[in-house]
Structures are given as C-alpha cells and as structure tokens.
Amino acid sequence: MSEAIDVITEETEVSTTELACVLGITGRRIRQMAEDGQLQKVSKGRFLLADSVQRYVKFLSDGPMDEEDKKLEKTRRVAETTMKASKATIAKLEAEELKGTMHRAEDVAALTEDLVYTIRGALNALPGRLAVDVAAVSTPAEASEVIRKEVSKVMRELAGYHYDPKKYEERVRERRDWSERDSDDE
C-alpha cells in the first residue's frame, strides 16, 4: 500500500517544530530568526514552508554580516547589557533603601533640614527665655552666667538628637506611596 503524499505548494504551512526539522536547526533558532525578521510567520507558530526555506537559504548565502551590521549588533548587545546592569543596580539600591542600609540624598536633606529648624527654633526662643532672668540680675557677670546656663541647656537638648531609622523608613514609605499613586494616575 502506498501512503498519500501531500503536495507542497507555496501555501503549505508548517509548525515551528516541522520547519526546524526541515531546516535542520532548533525550534529556538526558528523563533529567534522570526523575531529578527529573517523568517516570516503567518500566524502564531506557523510558517509558509516554501517562503521560509527560501528565506533561510538566502540568509545562509548572504554569508557573514558586513562590518556595519557587526557594529550595529555589537552596539545593540552593549546597550542591552548596560540596560540589564542598570536595572540590577536600581533593584539593589531599592532593596538597600527598604532595608534601611542606604538613604536617598533627598531624605537625608529633608531630615537635616528638620534638625536645622529645630536648632533655629531653640535659638530663636532664647531671647524670650532669657529676657526676664537677665533683666533681674545686676552685674554683667551674672547676666553672662544666666545666658551660659540657658545656652548649655539648649545644647544638651540638641545633643539628644540622634539618628532615627524609623523616620527614614517613614519617608521611604511616604515617597513610595506617592510614586505608586502618581503612576496609577497616569
């Protein structure tokens, strides 16, 4: 008994696996060539057999890439690698920020500004706190002692200021919440 053999025409479609078998390459290579535009899909995972074979033969006969194509390919690979490295760096920095081992300059600046305002407030309050006490003394030495004590008191209060990781964590969470809301609005 003889089996019926289908006639191959220009309209004959084959799967990725079938085309890979005909061309003697892997299915992954077929998909890669389709992504690069060297092979043309007619639908998902389907190719015209005759057209694909002709395109593959032309691809092979064109030989190696010319110098300009090599430069473009190298540039593309470098850009791709740089992009991946940048994304990895950003992810690492975000993780460190969430762990509290790294702070953004804007957060440090904001908390430093808070400290400056605290110092400013304490210094601006000095004249009001000292006016009555200094007016009640009779000698400059006594006035100096009153002022010195009050300045020492302010300095002790400021010396109690310390790094608080929770304040940085609050700022990070606020900023992340803002950026998530901003991206949702877009």
Under the banding of pLDDT at 50, 70 and 90, the label for residue 2 is very low
pLDDT of residue 86: 93
Long-range contacts, stretch 70-74, CB < 8 angstroms, 24+ apart = none
Q: Which residues pair with 84 in a beta bridge?
A: none
Residues 131-163 pLDDT 10s:
888 889 999 999 999 999 989 988 888 888 777
Identify the helix (H) or strand (E) that includes residue 41: strand 41-43
Query: Is the pTM here over 0.75, yes or no?
Result: no
- The CA distance from 132 to 78, in Å, is 72
| Range 48-52 average pLDDT | 92
pLDDT of residue 6: 72
pLDDT, the chain, mean: 84
